[in-house]
Structure 1
Amino acid sequence: IIKRFTLCYVTGKILDGSNADVAVDQYHRYPEDIQLMKDMGMDAYRFSIAWSRIFPNGTGEINQAGVDHYNNFINALLAAGIRNSGLPSHGSTRQFEMHVSYAGIQPYVTLYHWDLPQALEDKYNGWLDPQIIKDFAMYAETCFKLFGDRVKYWMTFNEPDTFTVQGYDVGLQAPGRCSIVLHLFCKAGNSGTEPYIVAHNVLLSHATAVDIYRKKYKAKQHGSVGVSFNVIWFEPETNSTEDIEAAQRAQDFQLGWFLDPLMFGDYPSSMITRVGSRLPRFTKAESALLKGSLDFVGINHYTTFCARENKTNLIGSILNDTVSDSGAFTLLTNRGCSFVLNACSFQAWETHRRQGTEADLCPLFHFPVRANSIWLYIVPRGMRSLMNYVKEKYGNPPVIVTENGMDDPNSQFISIKNALKDVKRIKYLNDYLTNLLAAI
C-alpha cells in the first residue's frame, strides 16, 4: 500500500519522484549488516517483518521465499554472538559446549511498520474494517509459529498513532485519506471519524494477537509482546491551570489513546468527553481482552514540545479533525515555554563548554538546538519527564526504548573526516541516556 500510494498512483507525493523499490537492500545485504553489528559489539537488533512478504495477498498462501529469508536472517543474528571462550580443559565435548556462548544478537521483531498488504486495502479498506482484526491475528500467529522459537521480543505495531493520524486524518501517508479543508488534500476520507475507527481496530488486533500468543505459544517460547509508541513529551507553555491541563490532554490524545486501553481497558476520560459519539466504544469482553495485554511498553522518544490551551479553537473549527480534538495547541518552540528558556544552542554549548561557563549562559538563549528535522529539538530532560510519567501513571511497567536519536544534514561539502567528528550526536545520546538513567 505504501508503494502504490507514493509511487504508482499519486503524483507528487515524493518531491523528487524517487521510490523504495530498492532502498538499503537488507534483503540481499544482511550478512554485511550483521557483520557491522558484530564489529560494533551490538547485542540486539530491531527490525520489522513485512506482512506481504509472508502473505502477498494478506491472507491465504504463504510465500515460502519470504519465510526462508526471515529464518536465515534471524539465524544469522543469533549465530553472530556464538564464540569459543576457550578450549575444553580435558577435551570432552560436554566441557567444550560449556565454554561456548549462544547469546548472539537478539532479534526484536516488529510485526507491522505501516506496510499493509495492498490486497487488504483493495478488498475491504484495510484498517477501516473489523475484518482486519482476524487477518492481522492470523498473520501474527503465523509469525509466532514460524519464528517464535528464536524471537523472544515482539512488537505488534510501531507507532500506531503515527500511521493512524498521518494516513487517515491529514492524508500524508498511505492510504492518504482525509477530509480537512473540504477534501482539498484528499479525494476520500473523514478526518473526524476514521482515525478513531482505525485506532480501535488496531487496538483490538493487538489484543487478539497477544491473547493467541499467551494461550498457545508463551509457555513454550517464553517470549514477550509489546507495542512501540511514538511519544513526544509535552510541557505546558506557562504554569497556568489551562496550559497544564492542555499538556495533559495532548498526552492523552497521543500516548493515552493507545496505552490507556491496553493498561486500563478504555480510552482516557478526556477523549471520551471531547470526542463523544465519534469515538468507538469497547464492549465489556473487548475491554477485558485489552486490559493488561502488554508485557512491555516500547517508547520511541526524540523530542519535547510546548502545549497551551487552544482558547479559540479556530483551527479546530476549520479542520474538524482528530488533531484538534484535544483542544491543545502544541508548539515546536516558544519563548514562554519552560524548556526553551533553559536550553542552550549547540554552538553556545560548544563554545562555553571549553570555558566552563555553560550553566551560567544557558538561560540567555531562547531556542534549543535543533537536529536536521524541523520538528526535532534537542531537549534531553524530556526523556526523564516522560519515563517518570509512564512509571507513575501506568504502574511502573517494563519499558524498552525502541527508538531514539537525531539526524544531521547531509552535505557534499563536508568531508567524511569532519562528518565523523560527531560531537553533536554524542552529546545528544549522552544527555538523553543520562536523563533516562536518572528516571530509573
Structure 2
Amino acid sequence: MVEMGLQSFRFSISWSRLLPNGRGPINPKGLLFYKKLIKELQNHGIEPHVTLYHYDLPQSLEDEYGGWLNRKIIEDFTAFADVCFREFGEDVKLWTTVNEATIFAIASYGEGIAPPGHCSPNIFINCSTGNSSTEPYIAGHNMLLAHASVSNLYKLKYKGKQRGSVGFSIFAFGLSPNTNSTDDEIATQRAKAFLLDWMLKPLVFGDYPDVMKRTLGSRLPVFSEEESEQVKGSSDFIGIIHYITFYVTSQPAPSIFPNMKEGFFTDMGVYLLPIGNFSFSEWEAIPWGLEGVLEYLKQSYNNPPIYILENGKPMKHDSMLQDTPRVEYIQAYIGAVLNAIKNGSDTRGYFVWSMIDLYELMAGYTTSFGMYYVNFSDPGRKRSPKLSASWYTGFLNGTIDVASQDYIQLQRNLSGYSSL
C-alpha cells in the first residue's frame, strides 16, 4: 500500500471475529488484530474506511431469530457498532454500516445466491427456506432501521468527540433506455425506482418510492412516523458500489436475470439487457454508466456526499500480469468520476476493487479483481504487481494522467518490477 501511494484503504470488520456469539464478550484476539491494522495504516498516512457489515452475520443470531428478517437485529447490530465506535472510533473517521444493502437483500433473500441463501422453492436455485416475494423487502427494511439506529447512536454518543461520518452503501447499476421510445424511458425510471430509490429515498426523504408501494402493497413494510424521521437524513454520505451498466426495456427480451414467477426482478417488471459481451465473470467498460449514476444522485437527492466504495474489473485468475483490460477499465472509470465532479457531483473518494487477488463470493478463486497477483498455492501467498498496480501507482504519484496512454510504456517495463 505504501509503495503504491494509497491514501485510504477500505476494509470490513467481521462481526463474528469481534463478537463470536453476536453479542456479549469481545474476542481479545479479534480486537487486537483490528487495532493493530488501523494503527499500522495510520502510521503510514493511510486513512481507514471501515464497513461494519459485509455478509458475515454471526451464526448464533441467524439460528436464534433469523438474522436480518427479525427486528431484533436492530438492537444487536447497534450494540456491535457501539463496540466498534468505542474501540476504534478515535482513529476511524469514515464508517459504512451495511455493504451494498440493495443487492445483499436481493441476492441473499430473493435469489438464494448469497448468505444465508433464502429463496422461494425452485425460484433460481434450490433453497431450503425462504420467500422471494416478501423477504428481500423485510430484510432491506431492517437494514435501513438498523443503519438509522447506529447513525443515531454515533451522533448522540461519539460524533462530538470523534468527528467522524456514518454512511450507507448500495449496489448501483448503471441504467439507460434501450431505445428512445417513451416506453423504454418509463421502464428505465421504474428500474431506477426499484434498484436505486428503494433505499435511497427513505434515507433522504423518509419513505419508499410510490411505484414500489403501489406494486408491492402489503408486501412492502411500512415505516411508522417515528421510524421515517429516524431514517430520513441518517446517512452522512452514500456509498456507491458500481461495476456494470444495463439497457432497460419494457419489451420482453432475453434479460440477464431469469424470468421467475415471483421475486424482486419480477416485481420490477422490466428487462435488463447486457451491453456488449457480458457475463458475471467478465464485462466491458461502460464508464458513462457510472457518470449517469452520479448525475442521477446529484439531481434526485440534493447532491449528497458520495464515496465510490468498489469499482473494478474481473479477469481469469492466472499468473498473467499483463492485465491491460483492467488498466483500461480503471482509467476510463476514474475519468468518468472526474467528469462527474467537474459537473458538480459531491464525490469525495474512489476505491478500486481490489488491491490484491482474494476470494470472491460468486466466483471463488477462478476470477479475480486484484491489482496484485496472489499465488494461492504458495504457502507464503506470494504477491506480484500486475500492470494495473504499476499504472495505479503512477496515477497516484502524478506521473500518469487519466487521459494518457502511458500504461503502454508501463506494459513494456513491467518485467522490471519485483514481486512482493
Instruction: Give me the TM-score of the superposition, normalised by structure 1.
Output: 0.74
Secondary structure class of the residue paired with 1:39: coil
Superposition pairs of residues 195-344 of structure 1, within 5 angstroms: 195-310=136-251, 318-333=260-275
1:430 and 2:362 aligned = no
1:407 and 2:309 aligned = no
2:86 matched residue in structure 1 = 145
1:70 to 23, 34, 41: 34
1:135 to 58, 65, 76: 76
1:178 to 119, 123, 128: 119
Deviation track 1:165-184 (CA, whole Å, cap 9, x = no partner) reads: 11111111111111153797
- Decide whether the 8 Å contact of 1:45 with 1:106 is kept in 2: yes
CA distance in 1, matches of 2:192, 2:32: 41
1:117 matched residue in structure 2 = 58
Secondary structure class of the residue paired with 2:234: coil
1:157 and 2:104 aligned = no
TM-aligned CA deviation for residue 377 of structure 1 = 2.8
- Decide whether the 8 Å contact of 2:110 with 2:135 is kept in 1: yes
Secondary structure class of the residue paired with 2:53: coil
CA 312–404 in structure 1, closer or farther in 2 if over 3 Å, else same: closer
TM-aligned CA deviation for residue 373 of structure 1 = 3.8
2:375 matched residue in structure 1 = none
CA distance in 2, matches of 1:183, 1:435: 34
Larger radius of gyration: 1
Aligned residue identity for 1:123: E
Aligned residue identity for 1:391: K
CA distance in 1, matches of 2:133, 2:175: 23
CA distance in 2, matches of 1:421, 1:61: 47
2:10 matched residue in structure 1 = 46
RMSD: 2.1
- Decide whether the 8 Å contact of 2:110 with 2:118 is kept in 1: yes
CA distance in 1, matches of 2:41, 2:124: 47
Deviation track 1:173-222 (CA, whole Å, cap 9, x = no partner) reads: 11111115379711211100011110010100000000000011001000
- Decide whether the 8 Å contact of 2:254 with 2:273 is kept in 1: no
CA distance in 1, matches of 2:135, 2:292: 32
CA 79–289 in structure 1, closer or farther in 2 if over 3 Å, else same: same
2:133 to 160, 176, 192: 192
- Decide whether the 8 Å contact of 1:237 with 1:308 is kept in 2: yes
Structure 2: 5+ residue runs without aligned partners? 342-420
CA 147–309 in structure 1, closer or farther in 2 if over 3 Å, else same: same
- Decide whether the 8 Å contact of 1:107 with 1:153 is kept in 2: yes
Identity value in percent: 44
1:167 and 2:108 aligned = yes
TM-aligned CA deviation for residue 313 of structure 1 = 12
Aligned residue identity for 1:422: D
CA distance in 2, matches of 1:432, 1:72: 33
CA distance in 2, matches of 1:392, 1:271: 20
Aligned residue identity for 1:328: V
1:58 matched residue in structure 2 = 22
Worse overlay, 117-126 or 157-166: 157-166
CA distance in 1, matches of 2:27, 2:100: 26
Question: Would you say how many aligned residue pairs link Structure 1 and Structure 2?
Answer: 340
1:107 and 2:8 aligned = no
CA 41–192 in structure 1, closer or farther in 2 if over 3 Å, else same: same
1:379 and 2:289 aligned = no
Secondary structure class of the residue paired with 2:2: helix
2:398 matched residue in structure 1 = none
CA distance in 2, matches of 1:318, 1:44: 41
TM-aligned CA deviation for residue 421 of structure 1 = 3.2
Structure 1: 5+ residue runs without aligned partners? 1-36, 81-103, 334-366
Secondary structure class of the residue paired with 1:45: strand
CA distance in 2, matches of 1:268, 1:282: 12
CA distance in 2, matches of 1:313, 1:276: 28
